[in-house]
Copies of this chain bind each other. A is one copy, B any other.
C-alpha cells in the first residue's frame, strides 16, 4: 500500500492529523527509566502504547538515536518494529547528497529501517532526491519552508527569474516531482502565511508535514486551516517534546496521553 493511502486510512480510523515525534533523549525521560539499561526502549514503547489510537503517524528524528551510537541504532530499529504495522512511520533524517550517495541513504531508511517515509533537503536538487523517489510506495518529504527562526537566511530570498522566494520555487518543484504520488513537503507551523501559499501551490494531493506547534510556538489554528487540503486532510501536525515530555515523573505515560489527546482534539476543532 502507498504511504499516502496508509496515511489516509489512519487519519480516518483515528480521526486524527496528529503525529507524535519520538525524539527520545536519556537526559529528558523520567529518572526511573533513564537509569535502566532498556529504559529508552521502555519509554518509547509506553508512549506508543498510550498514543497509538490518537495519531495518524509517528516521526522519529534520526539525530536523537544516532548520537547514542550502536545502542541508538538498535533502539531505533526496535522502536520502528514496535510501532503497529498499520501506522505509518516517518524517519526524519533531512538527508541530501549526490546521487551515488543518496542511494545509500535511501537504502538505509527504506530497506534497513523499513520506514514508510522520510525527510530530505532540497539544496542539491533532484539528483539528491531521485534515489528516494524510486521507492514508489514510500513518501519523501522535501524541506520547503522550515520552522526555525533562521529559515529566512536563504529560503525567503527572492529569485529574480520568477519573482518568488526560494521556498516557493521548491514547492513548485515538489509538485513537479510528485509524478506518482510519493512526494511531500515540510513547512513549519511557525510560518502560517507561507504554509497557506505552499498548500495553494501543491494542490490537494500532496501531504504537508508540519512541525513547530509545540515548544517552537507555532500557531495551531492557522497550521490546521492552512495546511489541510480541501477535504481537511493531508496535513500532518507533528509535536514531539510537548507530548513525550509532558511530565518527567512516574505519571509520564498518562500525561503524554493526555496532551496527545488534547492536541488531537484541538486540531480537529480547526479542521473543515
Tell me the chain A residues, 156-170 only, with Cβ under 8 Å from chain B.
Answer: 157-161, 163, 166, 169-170
Residue of B nearest to A165 (CB): B159
- Residue among B70, B73, B101, B158 making CB contact with A161, cutoff 8 Å: B158
Binds B, one of A120-128, A223-231, A263-271: A120-128
For the complex, is A14 an interface residue (Cβ under 8 Å from B)? no
Give the oligomeric copy count.
Answer: 2
Query: In the assembly, what is the distance between CA of A211 and CA of B67, in Å?
Result: 26
- Residue among B74, B125, B211 making CB contact with A151, cutoff 8 Å: B125
> Which 5 A-B pairs have CB atoms at the shortest separation, nearest pair first?
A125-B150, A125-B153, A63-B104, A67-B108, A127-B150
Q: Are B154 and A104 in contact (CB under 8 A)?
A: no
Interface string of A98-133 (1 = CB under 8 A from B): 111110110110001000000001111111100000
What's the minimum C-beta distance from A47 to chain B, rounded to whole angstroms? Answer: 18
- Residue among B102, B107, B121, B161 making CB contact with A123, cutoff 8 Å: B121
Cross-chain pairs A/B with CB under 8 angstroms, 23 sampled: A63-B101, A63-B104, A64-B101, A66-B108, A67-B108, A69-B73, A69-B77, A69-B112, A70-B70, A94-B95, A96-B96, A98-B147, A100-B215, A121-B121, A121-B123, A123-B123, A123-B154, A124-B146, A127-B150, A128-B148, A153-B173, A160-B160, A160-B163
Interface string of A67-94 (1 = CB under 8 A from B): 1111001100100000000000000001
Task: Chain B residues near A67: list those with CB within 8 A.
Answer: 104-105, 107-108, 112
Task: Chain B residues near A102: list those with CB within 8 A.
Answer: 63
Query: In the assembly, what is the distance between CA of A148 and CA of B163, in Å?
Result: 26
What's the minimum C-beta distance from A162 to chain B, rounded to whole angstroms? Answer: 8
- Residue among B97, B126, B211, B216 making CB contact with A63, cutoff 8 Å: B97
For the complex, is A209 an interface residue (Cβ under 8 Å from B)? no
Q: Are B125 and A152 in contact (CB under 8 A)?
A: yes
For the complex, is A61 an interface residue (Cβ under 8 Å from B)? yes
For the complex, is A48 an interface residue (Cβ under 8 Å from B)? no
- Residue among B98, B107, B169 making CB contact with A157, cutoff 8 Å: B169
- Residue among B70, B101, B157, B163 making CB contact with A73, cutoff 8 Å: B70
For the complex, is A149 an interface residue (Cβ under 8 Å from B)? yes
Query: In the assembly, what is the distance between CA of A139 and CA of B70, in Å?
Result: 25
Interface string of A15-35 (1 = CB under 8 A from B): 000000001010000000000
Q: Are A101 and B61 in contact (CB under 8 A)?
A: yes
